[in-house]
Amino acid sequence: MSEPIPIIGGTGALGYGLAVRWAGAGREIVIGSRKPERAEEAAAKISAEVPGAKLEGFGNEDAAQRGPIVFLTVPFRAQSETLNNLREALAEGQLLVDCTVPMAAAVSGKATRTLGVWQGSAAQQAQEMVPDGVTVVSALHTVSASALAKGEQLDQDIPICGERKADKARVAELVEEIEGLRAVNAGPLEMARIVETLTPMLISINARYKAHAGIKITGLPDGDPWG
């Protein structure tokens, strides 16, 4: 029996879209939110949209304890506060998949822009903040939240950054349960500083083309990049 997938910030755009896709793939989903009632509402909404879906909604702290691989999908401005609140909830041996992007939202017609992070990336900042024994993996920065939620056909790659191949392989397995996504081993966690900056670029491209484009890495040979 597969383990539940906790999504912290699951009421936001990316978290909600991931919940829709994984629920449709038969995964049990735990949606986390600062306000438990919002998580419950999102879980009920997806359950009504996806036949046979198994979802629950909890406060972030409770949600984070429900599965071995926890996805953090909150806006960057909420990352530090959220991780501080999860210090007693996350446990040794868990993986935290950081999906946050250090960028400022567009204001008054101006484009989104990246923000500097002292540690180098949001993922590296997360690794400094989680309890000992919790490992951070970086992923899912380049897929459109809207495309996920609306059930659009996908055909794109998802770079995954982390220190251990085995950890990245576990995350890759979940990523590839979403039809049309291929996980790509993008190297150690420090590479997240590059991957995270792709998000503002894709937002800019998609705004101009009125699309939900992602990225595709060509020329990769067949074989197991995680072995």
pLDDT, residue 113, reads 64
User: What per-residue confidence (pLDDT) applies to 118?
Assistant: 61
3-state secondary structure 110-158: CCCEECCCCCCCHHHHHHHHCCCCCEEEECCCCCCHHHHHHCCCCCEEE
Instruction: Please indicate whether residue 107 or residue 114 has the higher confidence score (pLDDT).
Output: 114
Residue 70's closest CA among 111, 30, 101, 41? Answer: 30
Q: Where are the alpha helices (DSSP H) in the chain?
A: 13-24, 36-49, 60-64, 79-85, 122-129, 145-150, 165-175, 192-195, 198-209
Q: Which two tokens stand for residue 78?
A: 């909420």
Report how far residue 95's alpha carbon sits from residue 58's, in angstroms, rounded to the nearest whole number.
Answer: 19
pLDDT digits (tens, 9 = 90+) for 149-167: 999 999 999 999 999 999 9
Q: Is the pLDDT of residue 111 over 60?
A: no
Query: Nearest 5 degrees, angle CA 156-CA 116-CA 149?
Result: 30
What pLDDT sits at residue 119? 72
Give the residue carrying structure tokens 């576990």: 170
pLDDT number for residue 172: 97
The packing angle between helices 13-24 and 36-49, to 10°, is 40
Q: Kindly report which listed range (4-13, 92-101, 108-117) carries the lowest average pLDDT score.
A: 108-117
CATH architecture of 5-209: 3-Layer(aba) Sandwich (3.40)
Nearest CA among 138, 121, 129 for reference residue 197: 121
pTM over 0.75? The answer is yes
Q: How confident is the model at residue 104 (pLDDT cuts 50, 70, 90)?
A: confident
144/14 Cα distance (integer angstroms): 8
CB 72 within 8 A of CB 96: yes
Q: State the pLDDT confidence band at 108, using cuts at 50, 70 and 90.
A: very low
Q: Single out the residue of 80, 99, 182 nearest to residue 137, CA to CA.
A: 99
Q: Is the pLDDT of residue 106 over 60?
A: no
Chain segment 60-98, per-residue pLDDT in tens: 999 999 999 999 999 989 999 999 999 999 999 999 999
pLDDT, tens digit, 9 for 90 and up, residues 126-145 = 999 999 999 999 999 999 99
Residue 54's Cβ-side half-sphere holds a number of Cα atoms within 13 Å equal to: 9
pLDDT tens-place string over residues 10-64: 999 999 999 999 999 999 999 999 999 999 999 999 999 999 999 999 999 999 9
What's the pLDDT score for residue 226?
81
- Residue ranges of domains in the chain: 5-209
Strand 69-72 and strand 5-8: the pairing is parallel
- Measured in degrees and rounded to the nearest 5, phi and psi for residue 179 equal -55, 130
